[in-house]
Amino acid sequence: MPSILVALDAGVLSVTLNRPEKLNAFNPGMHEELRAALQRAEDEPAVRAVLLTGAGRGFCAGQDLSERSVSPGAAPIDLSASIGSNYNPLVRRLRALPKPVVCAVNGVAAGAGANIALACDIVLAARSSSFVQSFSRIGLIPDSGGTFFLPRLVGAARAMGLALLGERLSAEDAERWGLIWAAVDDTELASYALEVARTLAAGPTRGYGLIKKALYASTENSLDTQLDLERDLQREAGFSEDYREGVAAFMQKRPPIFKGK
């Protein structure tokens, strides 16, 4: 069985984490398959949005803890290799992908699984799902961008509580706290997430890529730097065919037909 299921339809590359018996926990093979899927998303012009979700009752339980034998008294393990070669490149790839990534959190998202969801551009979650910064429960720190995303999304106090206590945060609280875009009824999640992804896939793809670039850069930049960046990115957006189509459609009072160019 592949660890990642991939299907392209109507511009949406659906990518499903597929190790349901382990709540879709990551092993090296799953990382490799996910890398290939996201490379495809980057390379193929026909892909104009990505929809990431999980098979079964969980979204992703982070690193597969049964992959290594870790026990008291055993030789210490250097975790940086796996983070450096798998998790960090994955987070960087999701953020840098010049196409929107929708994440449909279908069940529990724990450890790196929670933070990989937060690395996506629009996060939707089933009402029964939850987010757990479970790292502290096994003596680790939030990785996969957790220490970056959490304080920026929910503020310092809530970030620290989530990281230290490792308690489950319900999808509804995650929405209320601003951690995610929306919690939706369990039965609606798949169809709603697909609808959002399809809407994005029919949109001005180049403009979306530039929006991602601008917003993600803003957390690091001064207002001056950001204003300059907006000028430069708007220049690029203005050169796109989709911009010309958008304005023409507005003037002609008709829906635009964006081609992603």
Q: What residues line the site for ligand LHQ (CB under 6 A)?
A: 22-23, 25, 61-66, 79, 82-83, 87, 108, 110-112, 132, 134-135, 138, 140, 143
Nearest approach, Cβ of residue 174 and ligand LHQ (Å) = 15
Residue 135 or 208: the one with the smaller Cβ distance to ligand LHQ is 135
CA distances from 121 to 21, 51, 176, 196 (A): 27, 10, 17, 12
Nearest approach, Cβ of residue 128 and ligand LHQ (Å) = 11
Nearest approach, Cβ of residue 164 and ligand LHQ (Å) = 15
- Alpha helices, H only, the chain: 28-43, 80-82, 88-96, 112-118, 146-154, 156-165, 171-177, 186-201, 205-218, 223-238, 241-251
d(C-alpha 100, C-alpha 51), whole Å: 9
Residue 81 or 223: the one with the smaller Cβ distance to ligand LHQ is 81
Residue 50 or 108: the one with the smaller Cβ distance to ligand LHQ is 108
Nearest approach, Cβ of residue 189 and ligand LHQ (Å) = 17
Tell me which DSSP letter residue 26 carries.
Answer: B
Could you tell me the two tokens for 136?
Answer: 């502290």
Residue 108 or 194: the one with the smaller Cβ distance to ligand LHQ is 108
Residue 66 or 219: the one with the smaller Cβ distance to ligand LHQ is 66
Nearest approach, Cβ of residue 215 and ligand LHQ (Å) = 26
Q: Which residue is nearest to ligand LHQ (CB)?
A: 62
Q: 108-110 and 58-60 as β-strands: parallel, antiparallel, unpaired?
A: parallel
